[in-house]
Amino acid sequence: MSNLDISEKKFPVVEGLRDFQENRGIVRHCKIVGTLGPSSSNEKTLRELIEAGLDIARLNFSHGTHEQHKSNIDLVRRLSKEAGRHVAILQDLQGPKIRTGKMPGAGLVIKTDERYILSYGIEHTKEGVIPIDYRELVHDVKVGQKVLMDDGLFALEVEKIEGANVHVRVIVGGLLKSRKGVNFPDSILSLPAMTEKDSRDLLFGISHGVDFVALSFVQTAADVEQLKKMIAALGADIPVISKIETLRAIDDIENICKISDGLMVARGDLGVEGSVERVPGFQKLIISTAAKYARPCIIATQMLESMIENPAASLAELADVANGVLDGADCLMLSGEVASGKYPVQCVKQMASIINEVEAWTFKRPVRYETSLFERDTWVENEAIARAACEAADALNAKAIVCLSLTGTIARTIAKWRPKTPIIAISPRKDVVQRMVIVWGVYAMQNPLFYNTDVLLQDLPQLLKSMNIVQSGDTVVITAGIPINQMRPTNMIKINTIQ
């Protein structure tokens, strides 16, 4: 069957490579996550968002009903299929957020240097007492530790603990409104990783086929392990993205990264917990750790915040997005900008434009494959092949690196080296194809035939040519595990010039 003309053969219809086909391989490497909400949950806007470059739709389970989320899932699936682009769905669980109780009227004025009592409750009923909806408060805080409220606007210090009451002194006061978030940056909290609401939401997400689950307020690797066990017990195998938003998570970042399928730099709460000046350093640490273990990393929070109300971003925001690309993030995330802002489509277009511009000039510089960035005692076969594929593609100015893979592991491993050359992952598994959306520089397609025969290694270049992905004279670098029909780990690299 080898060396047959492409016209004599019937190849499967594939989806998801429209960007390659239309732009002759000039594609965006850093991906875009957008949160769906009132501004973006209608068919017209969502179709425009997908056309503008939305790669991952985030469903924020801190808001909305299951009925609304199901509607969005169905809409994303249908519109992405119509557009010929893979758009993944990220379920973001609310997590154990601690809040103040209901305050009287417009709010409670807490004055600097005055003393108050923090006590478990859902509503303010007694003068001088601030209700907190966390029963274990007295067991988890210690004298001298800080308590922050309303995204760090208000700061208090624990002075003493008596019975069920925590006595505090106000360091920075103001008007405290109802149901504001409370952070304990110095404390180790005994909060469960998953609340009852999270468990119900997880069951919904699994039953409706979400592609990723994001776990909020991760403190240790054990939190991630617990969620993974729950997912497995429900008969699923969905990747878990750990949101890094506590100082305790920063301290355990290596172990969290090892067990996670991806990381998110949740800069909002991280800035409250660790002071905003430290966030850029945290961001670089989290991204570099994710790269070390070939885990995708998302940067979130306030990337184009001013565009919630304005049609144009500030220069500082443009620089922030550019620096996210330069730091090596796999994805950049838009939250309120797309969920509730006035200009959701313009936000995605603006972010895509910045990413394209930064990548255009960074890819003109010589590539340096810094082995020291990923120090290992020993290298396994597929890691060495991934590195070799990147160097070969760069040296030969290849049009694409093509990975024949069952699980997508080799594509993620290649992507961590950040080659100039786009990566095409081909897998027979639809779930793997969808999950590749989150990985830097990777575009995937489903091919249910290639595990039945080794012949595809010979026919693949012509298949790519027939899809208008490559032309005669182009070079492609192919990686695979051979014999293919034995589903071996990647153990081969092949360089092919299109005839």
Distance of CA 478 to the CA centre of its chain: 27
Among candidate residues 85, 243, 295, 420, the one labeled active-site is 243
Closest to 91 (Cα-Cα) out of 189, 194, 211 = 211
DSSP string, 233-299: HTT----EEEEE-SHHHHHTHHHHHHH-SEEEEEHHHHHHHH-GGGHHHHHHHHHHHHHHTT--EEE
**Tokens 């808001």 identify what position?**
63
CA 214/CA 59 separation, integer angstroms: 10
- Is 301 assigned a catalytic role? yes
Closest to 250 (Cα-Cα) out of 220, 271, 222 = 220
- Is 248 assigned a catalytic role? no
Backbone phi, psi, residue 34, to 5°: -130, 135
- Asked if the bond preceding 483 is cis, omega within 30° of 0, the reply is yes
CA 465/CA 446 separation, integer angstroms: 17
Closest to 37 (Cα-Cα) out of 472, 276, 341 = 341
CA 51/CA 54 separation, integer angstroms: 7
Among candidate residues 35, 246, 301, 413, the one labeled active-site is 301
Among candidate residues 18, 47, 77, 99, the one labeled active-site is 99
DSSP string, 353-388: HHHHHHHHHHTTSPP---GGGG--SS--HHHHHHHH
Q: How many helices (H) and strands (E) does the chain have?
A: 17, 21
Among candidate residues 28, 58, 267, 387, the one labeled active-site is 58
SS3 28: coil
Ramachandran class of 334: left when φ > 0, alpha when ψ lies in -120 to 50, beta otherwise: beta
- Is 58 assigned a catalytic role? yes
CA 77/CA 90 separation, integer angstroms: 13
Three-state SS for 117-153 is EEEECCECCCCCEEEECCCCHHHHCCCCCEEEECCCC
Within 10 angstroms of residue 90's Cβ, the number of other Cβ atoms is 27
Q: Report the DSSP beta bridge partners of residue 214.
A: 92, 241
Within 10 angstroms of residue 160's Cβ, the number of other Cβ atoms is 10
- Is 418 assigned a catalytic role? no
Q: Which residues are identified as catalytic?
A: 58, 99, 243, 301
